Amino acid sequence: MSRRLVFLALTFFILFTWMRPAGAVEDAQSGPALIQETMELLETHHLSHPDPAKLTDGAIQGMLDSLDDPYAEYFSAEELQGFADSLNGDLVGVGIEIRAGEQYPFVVDVIPGTPAAKGGIAAGDLIVAVNGESTEDLPLAEVVTRIRGVLDSAVTLTLRRGAQEFDLILHRAAIHVPLVEQDMLDGGTGYIKIVSFGTRTAEEFDAAMARLKADGMRSLIVDLRFNGGGYVLEAIDILDNFIADDSLAFIIDDGLGHQDEIHTQGKPAFKDLPVVVLVNGLTASASEILAGALQDHGKATLVGDTTYGKGVMQAVIPLSTGGALKLTVSRYLTPAGRDIDIVGLTPDHFVLVHDLQKEIAWQLLHPEDDPDLGFVPGSGKAALNSRELDVSIDFLQLGNERYLPLRPVLEAMLYQVAWQDGVIKIFSGREEILTLNTFNSRWNIQPGAFIEQGISYLPEKILPQLNIDINKEGNKIVLTRRLF
């Protein structure tokens, strides 16, 4: 045995004979005492002499990890404030809303009066770098973190607008992102987007509804897409607008066989208003409580995609240090007793093409209007009911047949499209009206839908079977579905 190994062996022997093992201390078998003893030993004897605060954070995180609960979190006092600020729309940044693109994130909206607005950033700009570091294929959350930072500090964004690429230096500012956005659409249809459920969401929602009512609102679209939730009571306060007083809003299940019913407590000012709610895979938590209650009570039609499926509720429990624990404390059920955890809410009308969802919601509120989809071949542009879409519609020539992109065309015509057992099923409402086989090879010509680079195409000749007229107006092609 080498002298080094002898030294190591002696060291271990001295440590283990000098220290009393944890099991030798009777009191140490209790959880808190054992944790405290372990921390003291680590502080004293570990080569790194770890910071006690870091050990404490690690111990807490370890306990939370053992719960196998993805929603359990430990917040320091600073993190707790940041969590509350994010729900309330208060942040330090430059004032842009971004979304993930194929290669780089892009700007969806610019908040007026913010550094981004003053610097000339526009919707559609690609963010190709932050402080000189490329954003190519970065997770969206990482890009957001890099753009945000310390108040008044500078951040350099490299933007691409068309063929032009340029740097813009902005100074971060305190920004309040409105929790509720409103607009008045054609035909007296109000539109309200709820960003999150913060402490002022219900108040902002009521104010938006009052303005829309004064402008002659006759129907409403509530947009809950990408809304990850927040304070449940804010969602219930909004529900009060549409559901009769003392109606069941949701059911709390504590997991021990005890259930509590939560009821509405307000006079509904808009109980007879036709409502469509937009949802998608990132509609979660308090958003699902609101959407599920409206759906169960027959007060709204859900349009979009299956929701996230967060059927459990958390409580934020303060700690003596000023921080807090966010812990899952109960499960909830919709008024009809549905447990949506993991499975989510199923829309009444599926629309998977994101840029069609709002337009289809409008169409469902105006059944008197036949949907018409116009496009100019080769232009990459399309319009539904004369309103421009961010969806490309064009012909694909295959032999002597012309094909159109199946999902956007059929969803624009108010059909629902589902894949099942390798075939495409087309529904009108809940009625299945057509089944199409698919083929992937250009040389395997047969009736059905053709798949090219992951996109399904519909044979033009099938359109008459679906009551869809195809007409040419100058250089424009117009598809119209005859509803009645």
Instruction: List residues with catalytic annotation.
Output: 285, 310
Please report, as a single letter, which amino acid is at residue 92: V
Query: Which has the closest alpha carbon to 302: 356, 231, 222, 242?
Result: 222
Q: 248 CB contacts (<8 Å, ≥6 apart)?
A: 261, 262, 263, 293, 335
Structure tokens at 335: 């008024």
Provide the 3-class DSSP secondary structure of residue 49.
Answer: coil
Supply the DSSP symbol for 29.
G
- Ramachandran region, residue 44 (left: φ > 0; alpha: ψ -120 to 50; beta: rest): alpha
Strand 324-333 and strand 312-318: pairing?
A: antiparallel
Please tell me the distance from the alpha carbon of residue 133 to that of residue 158, in angstroms, as a whole number. Answer: 9
Please tell me the distance from the alpha carbon of residue 412 to that of residue 266, in angstroms, as a whole number. Answer: 37
CA 337 to chain centre: 24
Provide the 3-class DSSP secondary structure of residue 291.
Answer: helix
Please tell me the distance from the alpha carbon of residue 118 to that of residue 110, in angstroms, as a whole number. Answer: 10
DSSP, residue by residue, 321-351: TS-EEEEEEEEEE-TT----TTT-PPPSEE-
Structure tokens at 49: 């002499």
Question: How crowded is residue 208: how many other Cβ atoms within 10 Å of its Cβ?
Answer: 21
CA 36 to chain centre: 41
User: What sign results for the dihedral spanned by CA atoms 140, 143, 147, 150?
Assistant: positive
* Terminal C-alpha separation, the chain: 94
Please tell me the distance from the alpha carbon of residue 406 to that of residue 417, in angstroms, as a whole number. Answer: 9
Question: Containing H/E element for 293?
Answer: helix 286-296
Per the CB < 8 A criterion, the answer to whether 184 and 212 are in contact is yes
Please tell me the distance from the alpha carbon of residue 264 to that of residue 91, in angstroms, as a whole number. Answer: 32
Please tell me the distance from the alpha carbon of residue 237 to that of residue 179, in angstroms, as a whole number. Answer: 15
